[in-house]
Amino acid sequence: MTRFMRKGKTKVFWVLTIASTSAPTAAEINAGVILHTQLEDISGFLFKNNPIDTPDMGQTLVTKVSGEDTLDDSSMGFYEDDTTNPISTALAKGTNGFVVIFYKGIAGASPAAADKAEVWPVQVASNARNYTTDNKAADYTVMFTNTAAPVQATLV
């Protein structure tokens, strides 16, 4: 097993239309907006289960069964550009689409067949500038609401 660092490897795209989230096409992804080149921070995008305790009088061990699936609140922080900002425009409040995360990167210069990704159906909940007097680059935060469970998929 080879360990790796996500920074510099993981690729993230915003895609408005995907016909089948279980089998997105390279053309659909390539028509999207590249996010990873301006991505400062990413949070959430976690699909979890809340197990249920199932104790019984026959044993001292408390077993569990799978419970409800939940999705964490998700957000991304981006650097702001003082001339043009296509990412901020694409991620306007209320826009529905898909965050596509190639968690182990992509084989070539752009996504192609056999590249594995997570496809997150989302709606942009907010897109807000962050104001600070700190010595740092201007940035903004985009918050997402999950509209369906994510899908691990391979491009076709």
The pLDDT score that the predictor gives to residue 8 is 86
CB neighbour class for 79 (10 Å; exposed up to 12, middle 13-18, buried from 19) = middle
For the stretch 128-137, pLDDT in tens is 999 999 999 9
Q: What is the pLDDT of residues 9-59, one digit of tens each?
A: 899 999 999 999 999 999 999 999 999 999 999 999 999 999 999 999 999
pLDDT one-digit tens code per residue, 47-99: 999 999 999 999 999 999 999 999 989 999 999 998 888 999 999 999 999 99
Average pLDDT, the chain: 93
Tokens in use for 21?
A: 């989230």
Burial class (CB in 10 A: 0-12, 13-18, 19+), 14: buried
Contact between 124 and 144 under an 8 Å Cβ cutoff? The reply is yes
The pLDDT value recorded for residue 36 is 95
Q: What DSSP assignment string belongs to 61-119?
A: S-EEEEEEEEE--EEEEEE--SS--HHHHHT-TT-EEEEEEETT--SSSS--TT-EEEE
Instruction: State the pTM of this model.
Output: 0.89
Residue type, 106: I
What class is the 11-154 domain? mainly beta
